[in-house]
Amino acid sequence: MSQEFVKLDGSLGEGGGQVLRISLCLSALYRIPIEINNIRAGRPKPGLSAQHLKGVELVRDMCNAHVTGAHIGSTCLTFKPGFLQNKKQEFLADTRTAGCICLLIQIALPCALFSSKAATYILKGGTNVPFGPQIEYFTNVFRPLFKRFGADLNIDIVRKGYYPQGGGEVHMHVNPIHSLTGIELIDAGNPVNIMGWSFVAGWTKIHEAQRMADDARSNIIRELSKRDITVPPIHLVTYQEQKNIAVGNGSGINLICKTTTDCIFGGSALGSKHQAPTPPGVEAANQLLSPILIDACVDEHLQDQIIILMVLAKGPSKVKVGKNPLTCHAETAKQVAEIMLGNRGLRFSSSQDNNGSHILECNGLGLINEFLN
């Protein structure tokens, strides 16, 4: 382990939690001590929130790290990792708020893959909340991509929780792996089917779910038809969550699109008591349509999640991200990885195909699980 702390500026890029999540993962995986200043400087309330603090504590427990500055509102943190040698079969992270459970998964999952033994991670907070992926997106869009790298995870949704009450609970079970394998995703293919789930919970009426589904369907048909793209079969389900598996009132919609080359895109949105500028069904449809219309193999939310997998994988990875530049979240993740691992030869590069779509490339460092070697 390097004894010198790598210093990181938390205001880098989008100035949110991405710097914290990526740097903590890489710190634990490569045993690099880090010091982060200006944590979440770009947010209305800078510093660690409950969700971020629980992420720090979770990774700390996983690798027996020495940490300073781990408290609510802290804008400076030092993290000196030990080994990812699990001494427990269960880890618990409870935000006691509606903090996004999927962001806890993002920070714990890479570390769990390269730990010494399988464990279950009990994560409590919000499953369907603003400013983070919904749990259905993680299971239906992220997981298939994750499996392309040669890994897998099991997610059991015990209880769903909505903003502002939270109260959701998810159990994630991960078996460690020897290594990840680089992937090549450069052919987006054509849409072959679109599925979705539109739900309401608590006292929210079922007609809200039906309205979101109708808005999503009509928007997808209209936008694809305008561009002479064949509209695939669309199957959207509406339902009322059972009260024993959902805490609080809420509504939302999740859409997925599969293509002829097995790319999977997602789109999601949450209902709101206040009149939103864009209806949630239309917002989810627009997110789903975006990668199709810009000739991408991953949607915007997958971009930032794929960066660390490309870094850790053995061999080259090539992913077409479309005619738009990388999202700010993905660019931030890439920059943090290069700052921390540039001295080991990590480099990202970008090229364009004949249609003007950007292809992100990375020759992964090929991390090996020392406990399984």
Average pLDDT of every residue of the chain: 94
Work out the average pLDDT over 173-182: 97
Q: Are 186 and 319 in contact (CB under 8 A)?
A: yes
For residues 357 and 354, what is the distance between their CA atoms, to the nearest angstrom? 7
pLDDT for 88 equals 87
Query: Which positions ≥6 away from 116 have C-beta within 8 Å?
Result: 83, 84, 85, 86, 176, 371
Going from the C-alpha of 228 to that of each of 188, 223, 297, the distances in angstroms are 17, 9, 19
> What number of other Cβ atoms are within 10 A of residue 342's Cβ?
10
pLDDT for 359 equals 96
pLDDT for 238 equals 97
pLDDT digits (tens, 9 = 90+) for 46-94: 999 999 999 999 999 999 999 999 999 999 999 999 999 988 899 999 9
Measured between its terminal Cα atoms, the distance across the chain in Å is 18
Would you call 329 a catalytic residue per the annotation? Answer: yes
The reply to whether 240 sits in an annotated binding site is no
pLDDT digits (tens, 9 = 90+) for 304-357: 999 999 999 999 999 999 999 899 999 999 999 999 999 999 999 999 999 899
The reply to whether 302 sits in an annotated binding site is yes
Q: Are 227 and 293 in contact (CB under 8 A)?
A: yes
pLDDT at 274 over 60: no
Q: Are 216 and 254 in contact (CB under 8 A)?
A: no
Work out the average pLDDT over 240-250: 87
Exactly one of 52, 173, 235, 329 is catalytic; name it: 329
pLDDT for 13 equals 87
Exposure class string for 203-242: b at 16+ Cβ within 10 A, else e = ebeeebbebbbebbbebbeebbeeeeeeebebebebebbe
pLDDT for 273 equals 66
**What domains can you pick out in the chain, each with its CATH number?**
1-83 (3.30.110), 84-177 (3.65.10.20), 191-294 (3.30.360.20)
Phi, psi of 209 (to 5 degrees): -65, -40
Q: Are 197 and 237 in contact (CB under 8 A)?
A: yes
> What number of other Cβ atoms are within 10 A of residue 5's Cβ?
15
The reply to whether 210 sits in an annotated binding site is no
> What number of other Cβ atoms are within 10 A of residue 44's Cβ?
5
The reply to whether 152 sits in an annotated binding site is no
Work out the average pLDDT over 207-213: 96
Work out the average pLDDT over 290-312: 95
- Strands laid side by side in the 6-9 sheet: 6-9, 34-37, 77-80, 66-68
- % of the chain residues with pLDDT over 90: 86
Exposure class string for 279-317: b at 16+ Cβ within 10 A, else e = bbbbbbbbbbbbbbebbbbbbbbbbbbbbbbbbbbbeeb
pLDDT at 15 over 90: no
pLDDT digits (tens, 9 = 90+) for 110-149: 999 999 999 999 999 999 998 889 999 999 999 999 999 9
Band (286; pLDDT cuts 50, 70, 90): very high
pLDDT at 208 over 80: yes
pLDDT for 248 equals 84
What is the pTM for the complete model shown?
0.94
pLDDT digits (tens, 9 = 90+) for 96-108: 999 999 999 999 9
pLDDT digits (tens, 9 = 90+) for 361-373: 999 999 999 999 7
Band (275; pLDDT cuts 50, 70, 90): low
pLDDT for 314 equals 96
Angle at which helices 300-312 and 328-341 cross, to 10°: 10
The reply to whether 178 sits in an annotated binding site is no
Work out the average pLDDT over 23-35: 97
Band (1; pLDDT cuts 50, 70, 90): low
The reply to whether 301 sits in an annotated binding site is yes
pLDDT for 169 equals 97
